[in-house]
A = this chain, B = another copy of it.
Amino acid sequence: MNPLDSADETFPDLPIFGQEEREGTKIGPWVRLDQTVPYRNSWIQVEHHEVRDPSGSQGIYGVVRFKHRALGCIPLHEDGTVTLVGQHRYPLDRYFWEIPEGGGRAGHDPLEEMKRELLEETGLVASTWLPLGEVHLSNSVTDEMGMLWLAKDLVQGTASPEPVEKLQLQRIPFREAVEQAADGRITDALSVVALLRAARLVD
């Protein structure tokens, strides 16, 4: 045994500068070497990662993590109409007509969260829920994941929108909403995906 080996055991296992590189954390073909959190609020966390990219070069990756799941549903009434929600969206300074949407808290059942949001925004209660699958909204920058449903067998209750929300509601034929999603008059991604997926289920 080399006497230097036993002496080395008393030192912490530090990488030797210039010879050994930090190993980092493997993320698929990427390696995360370091990360900081330059911004966080109640909805998002922005992370700055030092990475080794799949080509082996060192670089950076800015990741936006979402605290909540994006939930959306299509309330389909017996007369063949759907309820859409209109609101001004601050990041784009633009008015949008969308399906009812909300944020699902971690650790809560997404469907129960969706039911709560639907009731708050529209006053509607649905007894039949058909899943319309998942969607990843912007997977090159964010980890935002959406879950979608078709909500049927509706009963009208009382809406209680949050004061911050200035919502309008309208009912239009489901087929008209699908046309608007298909031709680009409806542009909100959650709404377009839900309506065009539902169009393949509903006669």
Contacts A139-B96, A166-B54; A88 near B133 (Cβ below 8 A): no
Chain B CB within 8 A of A126 CB = no
A:38-55 near B, CB below 8 Å: 38-39, 41, 43-44, 46, 48, 51, 53-55
- The count of identical subunits is 2
Chain B residues with Cβ below 8 Å from A140 are 89, 91, 101
Which of the residues B38, B60, B61, B164 comes within 8 Å of A59, measured between beta carbons? B164
Interface centre among A61, A163, A187 (most CB of B within 10 A): A187
Residue-wise interface mask of A (1-40) relative to B, using a CB-CB cutoff of 8 A (1 in contact, 0 not):
0000000000000000000000000011110000000110
Chain B CB within 8 A of A113 CB = no
Q: B136–A166 contact, CB under 8 A?
A: no
What is the size category of the interface that chain A forms with chain B?
A: 35 or more
When C-beta atoms are compared, the residue in chain B nearest to A26 turns out to be B93
22 residue pairs A–B, Cβ–Cβ below 8 Å: A27-B90, A30-B88, A39-B46, A41-B60, A44-B62, A54-B165, A54-B166, A55-B166, A63-B90, A64-B91, A89-B140, A91-B142, A92-B143, A133-B183, A133-B184, A134-B184, A138-B144, A146-B189, A182-B196, A184-B197, A192-B197, A196-B199
